[in-house]
Amino acid sequence: MTRLPGSRSLPLAGAVLATLALAGCWQPPDDGVAKGCRAQFSVSGELRAGLGLSSHIEWGDSRTETAYREFEQSRWSDLGVGTARTDFSWRRVEPERGVFDFTGLDRVVAAGEASDTELLAILNYGNSWAHSDGEVAAPPDDLADFGNYAATVAEHYTGRVRHYEIWNEQNVGLTFWRPSEDPVRYGELLVEASARVREVDPQALISFGGVFGPRLLVNTEGEDYIRAVAEALPELAEHIDIMAFHPYRYPFNAPESESDDQDSLSTSICSMRGLVAELGAPDMPLWITELGWHTALDSFSPGVDESTQGAYLVRAALIAFSQGVERFYWYTFRDSGTASDDQEQRFGLFGFDEIPGGEPEAVSKSGEEFATLSSVLADHDTISDRSQELGLDAHSWALELHGGSSPAALALWTGGEAQSIEVGRSAGNTLLDTAGTELTLGGGPLSWQIEISGRPVYLLQR
């Protein structure tokens, strides 16, 4: 993979295109279509810190579990994972009321620290001893039991874990909040957990449990569910610091695709921003704590091939950042199986190790795309839409990464037909594909002629 130097550079599209235009050399078309609901987004730190994975890292100490945990930890470092989201499962931490065992979870937290990866802890799910029917996918009979668990976890990890997400996809009652979703009860559990965590760690930040976005037969649509919680709990915004959501695609088509039955990713994000404004918190951070495309081509809702998975990963993450999402978590790190008809097994950046019991041999599916994106994000704190000034149509994107000391980068792709576009030429420009391979640049003395397709490319200014 081509490594990016740390030399100082001005914003690529904004500075280079404007300079060439003023010199009377090459005039940007400036007749394209702006994207989404915002033209620019900046973070207080680095965009790269918000590029994450939602993972099921191993807790145990057997030879196999240890090997897989160490394998994942090392890949987090190699990939440039800024943050990882993982379960801090109640039933594993407190197997009996009042009896806590942090042995396994301590290994997970240590893995995050060793790889310089910040953890987002999911406080979930139920616990058999806390429910009259022994149901572990249901809330407890007494919410104080969940509050005690949340407080004990937060106290144990004060100073080491700062972000807590309360439950996961609680709007899918069939799976995660049995027997059926209950926004009133979830609001009560959220109030209990938030108060208890903040009581022991005032620096902790609380996230609403990430809601599953689409409306299917098995769930309440994500935004409808949030509104139902807010109706029962008008002061909802006072109990959370972050709004989390999972804008999965059903069907698993391109992130820019929009139809009567499905919003595009940018529309979903803009709609969520409007929703938190309704809650009285227009500046509340938005986090996509899960999003992914599976590779089970024979499943009920067919997935995509590995090449398309990598392209959609990059496109989705860049769109998310450009529309004001602070953190983007790809689901998930590694496949859990090889079945071509089971989507739940095939969301990973890495494939399934078909020789369990030994050293991990999981093969990368889209890891290079993730790593290159992290490298290109570098230390930049701002992402800007340059689609309009480059004359790009409604299906084609130009997003500029800048604001740091690393080379500015212009990410280019189209969700429509492959096409050739013209971009102002600057000394030292380099073109990379999503795997980090350097591509040949062509064109005249004043501008580059760049072929764009569904696989993004990055134009760097050295």
Domains and CATH numbers, the chain: 12-40+381-461 (2.60.40.1180), 47-377 (3.20.20.80)
Q: How far is the C-alpha of 183 from the C-alpha of 220, rounded, in Å?
A: 10
Instruction: Give residues with Cβ within 8 angstroms of 260, minimum separation 6.
Output: none
Mean pLDDT computed over 45-56: 98
Instruction: State phi, psi for 229 to the nearest 5 degrees.
Output: -65, -45
As a whole-number percent, the residues of the chain with pLDDT over 70 amount to 93
What pLDDT, on a 0 to 100 scale, did the predictor assign at position 428? 87
Q: How far is the C-alpha of 255 from the C-alpha of 212, rounded, in Å?
A: 16
SS3 content of the chain, % helix, strand, coil (to 5): 30, 20, 45
Mean pLDDT computed over 326-344: 97
299-309 pLDDT, tens digit per residue, is: 999 999 999 99
Confidence of residue 359 (pLDDT cuts 50, 70, 90): confident
Q: Are 12 and 342 in contact (CB under 8 A)?
A: no
371-404 pLDDT, tens digit per residue, is: 999 999 999 999 999 999 999 999 999 999 999 9
Which of 8-12, 210-214, 289-293 has the weakest average pLDDT?
A: 8-12
Q: Would the pLDDT of 357 be above 80? A: no
pTM for the full predicted model? 0.94
What pLDDT, on a 0 to 100 scale, did the predictor assign at position 362? 87
Mean pLDDT computed over 325-350: 97
- Residue given tokens 């470092």 in the structure block: 77
Alpha-carbon distance values, 20 to 385, 399, 407 (Å): 19, 19, 19
Mean pLDDT computed over 447-451: 95
Q: Are 365 and 352 in contact (CB under 8 A)?
A: no
Q: Are 373 and 314 in contact (CB under 8 A)?
A: yes
Confidence of residue 356 (pLDDT cuts 50, 70, 90): low
Q: How far is the C-alpha of 40 from the C-alpha of 188, rounded, in Å?
A: 37
What pLDDT, on a 0 to 100 scale, did the predictor assign at position 166? 98
What pLDDT, on a 0 to 100 scale, did the predictor assign at position 94? 98
What pLDDT, on a 0 to 100 scale, did the predictor assign at position 309? 98
What pLDDT, on a 0 to 100 scale, did the predictor assign at position 141? 98
Helical residues (DSSP H) of 94-136, grouped into ranges = 103-114
Q: What beta strand segments (E) does 132-234 contain? A: 163-168, 205-212
Among 136, 165, 435, CA closest to 290: 165
Instruction: Give residues with Cβ within 8 angstroms of 99, minimum separation 6.
Output: none
What pLDDT, on a 0 to 100 scale, did the predictor assign at position 420? 96
Q: How far is the C-alpha of 263 from the C-alpha of 320, rounded, in Å?
A: 14
- Residue given tokens 């005249």 in the structure block: 444
Lookup: tokens for 55: 């993972």
122-175 pLDDT, tens digit per residue, is: 999 999 999 999 999 999 999 999 999 999 999 999 999 999 999 999 999 999
Q: How far is the C-alpha of 215 from the C-alpha of 110, rounded, in Å?
A: 38
Angle at 344 between CA 340 and CA 346, to 5 degrees: 50
What pLDDT, on a 0 to 100 scale, did the predictor assign at position 427? 80
Rounded to the nearest integer, the mean pLDDT of the chain is 93
How does 147-175 read in b/e, with b if 16+ C-beta sit within 10 Å? bbbbbbbbebbeeebbbbbbbbbbbbbee
Burial class (CB within 10 angstroms; exposed 0-12, middle 13-18, buried 19+) of 357: exposed
What pLDDT, on a 0 to 100 scale, did the predictor assign at position 25? 59
Confidence of residue 353 (pLDDT cuts 50, 70, 90): confident
Instruction: State phi, psi for 152 to the nearest 5 degrees.
Output: -65, -40
Confidence of residue 462 (pLDDT cuts 50, 70, 90): confident
Confidence of residue 444 (pLDDT cuts 50, 70, 90): confident
Q: Bridge partners of 118?
A: 83
